[in-house]
Each structure stands twice: as structure tokens, then as C-alpha cells.
Amino acid sequence: MALTTELGQQTQLTEVAGILLQTSTVGNWSQIQNFEAKPDDLLICTYPKSGTTWIQEIVDMIEQNGDVEKCQRALIQHRHPFIEWARPPQPSARNAKDCMVSYYHFQRMNQKLPDPGTWDDYFETFINGKVAWGSWFDHVRGWWEMKDRYQILFLFYEDIKKDPKHEIQKVMQFMGKNLDETVLDKIVQETSFEKMKENPMTNRSTIPKSILDQSISPFMRKGTVGDWKNHFTVAQNEMFDEIYRKKMEGTSINFCMEL
């Protein structure tokens, strides 16, 4: 694993409770462990690269009743601070293959994460869960198994892509809000990939190049379903499906196979 870049920046990952974390996050571990949610808190619990920023913007747009100007008040990372660096849970999952592709390109451009190496190297790293914030399988399976025990709204990136209005309506109901059709349509429009890619409050363009080098790969990269087909070899796909079947058995989340 790459420990430092040429610029001497720390890219080391450190294992905490069996999960690799960015070393800069480890110091805040007690903040994560000791976090106590208030009854009206809303927690967005996503695996990296599953559309965290998208759902954050959707939630804020609903909270602000579709007021675009209010959603421009601050950068997305300040409107929705990460617990590890700073409200019931709302996990959002994305099919593991596209997630892997997105994470690969994110690691290429994120100067604070280890160099992902070649695609073939990264394939191994990802399936073994040796990436920051741990294994996709453990994360998605863990939240899936919790979903009926707590007040949890489980969303899928692919569903939001297919029918954003329907999924946004689900989030709205979950948040106890009642917005009319025109406001909902506006939220759909304002949270489209194209809009969010152009919006400095959501596209991470204010983060210095020494952290996120968007000339290597933009943060708002493609925003599509199925980009894995441009990356996976036939052999990798077969191997992945086999691993997926074993690791996700019994969860009925089989979107990987359907894409």
C-alpha cells in the first residue's frame, strides 16, 4: 500500500476496529464511537462513492422547501458535516461494480488516499475490502440487516437515477415533509447530475488541487449506471459475481447481477 505521495502527503490508511480509515480520521474515532443521535437527527449512511453528495443535496433541498438560494448558503460538506470530521439513519447503496469504478477514479484524484495502482490491482484491493471505510459488502449487508429493526429508509442510487421524483418523494415522506408537485419537480431538476456538476456548492471545486486533483478525474465524474462494463474484464465480472453471491447471500439485494 502506498504510504506517501511524491509530495510527501500522508496517504496511509490505519486499521481501526477491523476497518481501514484515513489516518487523519483515526484521531476522531472516539467522536464516531461516542456519537449519540437526537430523536430528530437524520443520518446519511453511505459507502464511499455511492451518491453521498447527491442524497445530501436532495435532503437539504427538501429541508429548505426547494429554496435554491438557501441551498447555496454553504458548501455541501458544511451543510452536512461528516460525523468523523464533525441526524433516523438513511443508508444509500449503489451497485458494487459501479461503486468500485467510481472509487478507483476517486483514489486516482484524491491525493490523501493511497494510489490505487492499476485497475487490476484495485480490483483485488476492493474485493478484499482493503480500502478506506472498509468493505462494500460488510457496509451494505450491515445496513440491510438493520433496516427493519430501526427507523431506516434504504435507498438505491440506481432507483434514484431511474425515477428521481418517486425516490425524492420517499425521502420527503420519511422526513415528515409535504411538498407540492412543483417543488418536487424543482428538486428533481436542481439535483440532476448536470446541475450538481456545475454547482460550486456541490462539485467540490473549492477543495485545493493538493487534496482533490480534478484534472486527473472530476469529482462529478459520470453519474451513470453501468460504467463498470467499460472497466471489468469478462473474467473479473465472473469472479466478482461469484464473490457477490457468497457475500450477499440471503439479503435479496441482487442488483449487481441485474445490471
Interface with ligand A3P (CB under 6 A) = 46, 48-54, 98, 102, 105, 191-193, 196, 220-223, 227
A 10 A CB-CB count for 105 gives 20
β-strands 19-22, 13-16: how paired? Answer: antiparallel
Closest CA to 48 of 155, 132, 159, 164: 132
- Compare residues 51 and 66 and give the one whose CB is closer to ligand A3P: 51
Beta bridge partners of 4: 10
- Compare residues 25 and 52 and give the one whose CB is closer to ligand A3P: 52
Q: HEC string of 51-90?
A: CHHHHHHHHHHHHCCCCHHHHCCCCHHHHCCCHHHCCCEE
* Least Cβ distance, residue 246 to ligand A3P (angstroms): 25
- Compare residues 49 and 141 and give the one whose CB is closer to ligand A3P: 49
* Least Cβ distance, residue 222 to ligand A3P (angstroms): 4
* Least Cβ distance, residue 32 to ligand A3P (angstroms): 18
* Least Cβ distance, residue 2 to ligand A3P (angstroms): 21
* Least Cβ distance, residue 55 to ligand A3P (angstroms): 8
- Compare residues 35 and 82 and give the one whose CB is closer to ligand A3P: 82
- Compare residues 139 and 141 and give the one whose CB is closer to ligand A3P: 139
153 touches 174 (CB < 8 A): yes
Signed CA dihedral, 101, 229, 190, 157: sign only: negative
Using CB atoms within 10 A of its CB, is residue 21 exposed (0-12), middle (13-18) or buried (19+)?
Answer: buried
* Least Cβ distance, residue 196 to ligand A3P (angstroms): 4
CA distance 188 to 164: 6
CA distance 156 to 116: 26
Angle at 22 between CA 217 and CA 37, to 5 degrees: 105
Torsion, CA 247, CA 251, CA 257, CA 259, rounded to 10: -130
- Compare residues 53 and 236 and give the one whose CB is closer to ligand A3P: 53
- Compare residues 6 and 138 and give the one whose CB is closer to ligand A3P: 138
* Least Cβ distance, residue 52 to ligand A3P (angstroms): 3
Phi, psi of 60 (to 5 degrees): -65, -40
Phi, psi of 17 (to 5 degrees): 50, 40
